[in-house]
């Protein structure tokens, strides 16, 4: 059959489309690493020559006198006639911190909580850590050694450049800032189960931990990002040397139990300080670069802009219907960002995401494309293997009963339903997995432009109607992406990924039916479409 518009046969068109599929070529071009040199985490122990903490002393303000009265460095007001138990005092310790010093520090600390939803809880099974507010802690030069610079100078000119290079953060005229958050003390057995750091202040994108000289073993930090795990262990040199660890806020990390000694650390928030710039970028982007990977992306966008890709009607095998290939794409990013993050636009981007989009942006603008950011949620629903696992559990219990009878000298015989109550064994409560996929859906929400402005809303300059009445802002909904296997790039982005949430439901096993299992995955995405299609695209993205 001939295609009247082109003069080619349908078979020829299909082959041509397969060879020049926009989604495949765009996904391939965007998936290049663009030579990003940073990592999602950083670790370094400073040598004795570098002396990170040499010639400095630790100060802690406002502690209980009754707990530290035998410490020589406590400064008390002898003229105060009030005999209260709590007064403003100072603890001062030179490094390294010996066990007796740390015990006095713990006496002025409180048990650290952890966040669960909107509330904070103290549970030593989850987090066994002592903490002191950063406002009570300082590190100052020990002036018995001449020439020692301030601790802030040490951080700004030594620690910060190292951390920024390791994470792929540019050191510009307005470099990121370090803000002391807490002092953390881990005694033997102290630990913190896997978790992610919350954004404690606007602009925070990473955590920096300075492990102070205090001899200990254990306390390794396991960091996991994008399915890859690394172990950061600085305990071997902890007696005399200081170390620095850092990771982006969306990196899952776990502090393993301290085996001996005391792990004492200062936790800093790393805060972005450059307005209207993505954070962070290690390699300064050059719009005119001849880099092969950037050149490949430029070619794809130029062809798309010139309509050299055919948006033909294609068959959707799963539904049996037909759909026109959508003129926008949602490319999954390497990091996850909250709605609060996205409200700051391009400034929230981290690591390889920031680096990649910084290179994409000038090419996209040059060819008339709009870029945006959004949250993507992926739902997989199906049957759980709980029924099979329950049956295996029953068979194991039957075998245990048979072995008990043999050991007791009873006759070995099969155990039937009359002398073995399977219902009394309860339901299977162990790990389960999905054995049959019934449904999968993608949802998009919090769609913003690169300035952080929600798509489908009016700008502040347009807030007022001519008659003085406020315009009503459109409500941004979570929208299902139709035909997501065309729109979401790369295809099947959550393959082999662990779900962020899991929902399991069953009615028991009386009807011999398996339970229902749902997996939820979350990621941020880069939205890309041509400006000529904006009126058509915005309603698809916002549901308005």
- Pull the structure tokens for residue 393: 């559990």
Pair (400, 497) in one structural domain: no
The model's pLDDT over 23-46, given as tens digits with 9 standing for 90+, comes to 888 888 888 767 666 788 999 998
Pair (400, 475) in one structural domain: no
| Domain end call among 223, 244, 271 | 271
Residue 516 lies in a domain: yes
CB count in 10 Å sphere of residue 237:
16
Residue 26 lies in a domain: no
Beta bridge partners of 180: 268
Q: Is the pLDDT of residue 520 over 80?
A: yes
Pair (392, 463) in one structural domain: no
The stretch 191-199 carries a mean pLDDT of 93
Pair (378, 397) in one structural domain: no
The stretch 461-489 carries a mean pLDDT of 60
- Decide which of 266 and 486 is more confident: 266
Q: Is the pLDDT of residue 386 over 70?
A: no
Q: Is the pLDDT of residue 210 over 80?
A: yes
| Domain end call among 271, 290, 324 | 271
Residue 416's pLDDT band (cuts 50, 70, 90): low
Residue 493 lies in a domain: yes
Pair (492, 377) in one structural domain: yes
Q: What is the mean pLDDT of the chain?
A: 77
CA distance 126 to 129: 10
Pair (378, 391) in one structural domain: no
The percentage of residues in the chain with a pLDDT greater than 70, rounded to a whole number, is: 67
Q: 283 near 358, Cβ under 8 Å?
A: no
Pair (287, 405) in one structural domain: no
| Domain end call among 425, 454, 487 | 425
The model's pLDDT over 174-189, given as tens digits with 9 standing for 90+, comes to 678 999 999 999 999 9
- Decide which of 198 and 436 is more confident: 198
Burial class (CB in 10 A: 0-12, 13-18, 19+), 92: middle
Name the pTM for this structure: 0.56
Residue 21 lies in a domain: no
Domain that holds residue 208: 41-271
Long-range contacts of 67-75 (CB under 8 A, 24+ apart): 67/104, 67/107, 67/108, 68/104, 68/107, 68/108, 71/104
Pair (393, 246) in one structural domain: no
CA distance 205 to 349: 8
Residue 484 belongs to what H/E stretch? helix 484-487
Q: What b-and-e string marks burial along 137-173, b requiring 16 or more CB atoms within 10 Å of the CB?
A: bbbebeeeeeebeebeebbeebbbeebbebbbbbeee
Q: Is the pLDDT of residue 344 over 70?
A: yes
Pair (91, 193) in one structural domain: yes
**Segment of 136-150, 152-166, 240-254 carrying the highest mean pLDDT:** 240-254
Q: Is the pLDDT of residue 88 over 50?
A: yes
- Pull the structure tokens for residue 334: 């390497």
The model's pLDDT over 328-337, given as tens digits with 9 standing for 90+, comes to 899 999 888 8
- Pull the structure tokens for residue 502: 């899991």
The stretch 236-258 carries a mean pLDDT of 95
Q: Is the pLDDT of residue 8 over 90?
A: no
pLDDT score for 75: 42
Burial class (CB in 10 A: 0-12, 13-18, 19+), 338: middle
CB count in 10 Å sphere of residue 333:
24
pLDDT score for 392: 62
Q: Which of 79, 87, 92 is nearest to 62 (CA)?
A: 87
Pair (403, 528) in one structural domain: no
The model's pLDDT over 418-472, given as tens digits with 9 standing for 90+, comes to 555 555 555 545 555 656 667 788 999 999 999 999 887 644 334 434 344 444 4
Contacts of 161 (CB under 8 A, 6+ apart): 171
Would you give the DSSP letter of residue 470?
A: B
Residue 190's pLDDT band (cuts 50, 70, 90): very high
- Number of structural domains in the chain: 3
CATH number for 220: 2.60.120.10
- Decide which of 208 and 389 is more confident: 208
pLDDT score for 423: 53
Pair (246, 201) in one structural domain: yes
- Decide which of 526 and 486 is more confident: 526
User: How many residues can be counted in the chain?
Assistant: 544
Residue 8 lies in a domain: no
């Amino acid at each position: 059959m001939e295609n009247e518009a082109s003069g080619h046969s349908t078979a020829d068109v299909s082959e041509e489309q397969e060879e020049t599929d926009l989604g495949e070529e765009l996904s391939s071009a965007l998936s290049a690493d663009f030579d990003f040199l940073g990592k999602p985490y950083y670790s370094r122990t400073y040598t004795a020559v570098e002396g990170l903490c040499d010639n400095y002393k630790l100060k802690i303000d406002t502690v209980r006198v009754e707990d530290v009265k035998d410490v020589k460095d406590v400064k008390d007001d002898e003229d105060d006639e009030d005999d209260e138990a709590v007064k403003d005092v100072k603890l001062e310790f030179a490094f390294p911190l010996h066990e007796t010093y740390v015990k006095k520090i713990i006496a002025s600390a409180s048990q650290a909580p952890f966040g669960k939803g909107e509330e904070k809880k103290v549970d030593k099974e989850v987090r066994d850590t002592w903490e002191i507010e950063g406002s009570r802690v300082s590190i100052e030069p020990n002036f018995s050694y001449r020439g020692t610079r301030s601790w802030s100078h040490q951080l700004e000119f030594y620690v910060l450049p190292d951390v920024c290079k390791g994470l792929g953060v540019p050191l510009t005229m307005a470099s990121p800032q370090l803000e002391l958050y807490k002092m953390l003390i881990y005694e033997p057995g102290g630990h913190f189960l896997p978790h992610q750091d919350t954004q404690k202040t606007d602009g925070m994108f990473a955590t920096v931990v300075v492990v102070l000289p205090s001899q200990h073993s254990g306390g390794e930090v396991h960091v996991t990002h994008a399915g890859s795990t690394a172990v950061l262990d600085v305990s071997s040199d902890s007696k005399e040397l200081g170390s620095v660890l850092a990771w982006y806020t969306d990196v899952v990390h776990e502090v393993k139990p301290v085996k001996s000694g005391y792990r004492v650390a200062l936790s800093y928030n790393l805060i972005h300080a450059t307005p209207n710039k993505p954070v962070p970028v290690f390699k300064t982007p050059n719009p005119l670069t001849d880099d092969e990977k950037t050149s490949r992306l430029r070619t794809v966008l130029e062809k798309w802009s010139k309509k050299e890709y055919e948006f033909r009607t294609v068959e959707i095998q799963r539904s049996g219907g037909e759909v026109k290939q959508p003129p926008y794409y949602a490319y999954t990013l390497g990091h996850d960002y909250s709605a609060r993050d996205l409200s700051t636009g391009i400034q929230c981007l981290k690591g390889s995401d920031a680096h990649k989009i910084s290179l994409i942006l000038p090419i996209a603008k040059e060819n008339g494309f709009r870029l945006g950011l959004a949250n993507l949620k992926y739902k997989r629903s199906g049957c759980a293997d709980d029924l099979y696992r329950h049956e295996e559990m029953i068979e194991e219990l039957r075998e245990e009963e048979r072995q008990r009878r043999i050991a007791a000298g009873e006759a070995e015989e099969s155990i039937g339903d009359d002398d073995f109550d399977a219902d009394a064994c309860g339901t299977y409560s162990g790990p389960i997995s999905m054995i049959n996929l019934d449904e999968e859906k993608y949802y998009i929400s919090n769609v913003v432009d690169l300035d952080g402005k929600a798509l489908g809303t009016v700008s502040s300059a347009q807030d007022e109607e001519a008659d003085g009445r406020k315009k009503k802002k459109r409500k941004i909904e979570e929208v299902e992406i139709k035909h997501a296997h065309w729109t979401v790039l790369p295809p099947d982005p959550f393959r082999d990924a662990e779900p962020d949430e899991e929902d399991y439901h069953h009615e028991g096993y009386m009807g011999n039916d398996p339970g229902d299992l749902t997996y939820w995955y979350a990621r941020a995405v880069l939205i890309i479409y041509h400006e000529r299609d904006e009126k058509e695209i915005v309603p698809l993205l916002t549901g308005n």
